């Protein structure tokens, strides 16, 4: 029987590193289910990961495709405190909320939560994030436990739900602000020309209509 996407996702390491060519582990699992991705595209899982996918899908095991990266020891990142400028870009890039900090304040990495995805490296404008090996010579699933994978999956799901909630709340604040302005446009504008005010009214009404349509279309 053809394995479902959830079954395939369960044997992936959940690093959410995107090296497989998909935006997250779930998307890769879905592509595997649909047959549009190969089983050898996940470097963090290593050959053991390929073997597990082969067993599930019935496809023959094969070496990792080097186009997606090589099997290597597990890494974690750390931030050089002397160089961190508190830009928050790494916080936004981390898929599992393993980096904490605030704007213009030093950031730090919670090592136990870091999956070694390296997505924070390219966004740092001062190159203050460095890698260090966390698993010695162990690679693939020998360097990463099912418990760590499950923790990473849960943290990624929480990260996604938090970001979606924050986006919704921000959109609602902007919509409320626009509606307030529309309720008394003359008082909220420096313009007094009726034609200009009417044009601004049309723009705001159109923006509110788009916001409502977007909200209604959201799952």
**Per-residue pLDDT tens for 180-205?**
766 666 666 766 667 766 776 777 67
Q: What is the dihedral of CA 141, 29, 6, 14, to 10 degrees?
A: 40
> What is the domain extent for residue 205?
167-217
Asked whether 181 and 208 are in contact (CB, 8 A), the reply is no
Q: What is the pLDDT of residue 142?
A: 97
Concatenated DSSP letters of 177-199? HHHHHHHTTTTT-S---HHHHHH
Does the predicted TM-score (pTM) go above 0.95?
A: no
Residues 45 and 81 in one domain: no
Q: Is residue 211 part of a domain?
A: yes
The domain tally of the chain equals: 3
Q: Is residue 122 part of a domain?
A: yes
Q: What is the pLDDT of residue 39?
A: 98
């Amino acid at each position: 029987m053809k394995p479902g996407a959830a079954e395939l996702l369960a044997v992936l390491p959940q690093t959410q590193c995107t090296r497989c060519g998909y935006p997250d582990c779930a998307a890769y699992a879905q592509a595997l289910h649909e047959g549009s991705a190969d089983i050898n595209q996940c470097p963090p899982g290593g050959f053991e990961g390929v073997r597990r996918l082969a067993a599930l899908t019935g496809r023959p095991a094969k070496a990792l495709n080097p186009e997606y990266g090589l099997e290597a020891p597990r890494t974690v990142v750390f931030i050089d405190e002397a160089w961190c400028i508190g830009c928050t870009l790494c916080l936004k890039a981390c898929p599992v909320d393993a980096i904490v900090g605030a704007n213009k304040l030093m950031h730090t990495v919670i090592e136990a939560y870091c999956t070694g995805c390296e997505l924070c490296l390219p966004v740092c404008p001062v190159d203050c994030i460095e890698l260090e090996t966390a698993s010695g010579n162990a690679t693939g699933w020998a360097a990463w436990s099912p418990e760590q994978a499950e923790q990473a999956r849960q943290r990624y799901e929480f990260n996604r739900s938090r970001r979606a909630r924050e986006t919704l709340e921000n959109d609602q604040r902007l919509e409320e602000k626009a509606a307030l302005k529309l309720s008394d446009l003359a008082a909220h504008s420096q313009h007094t020309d009726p034609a200009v005010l009417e044009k601004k009214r049309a723009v705001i009404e159109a923006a509110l209509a788009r916001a409502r349509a977007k909200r209604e279309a959201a799952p």
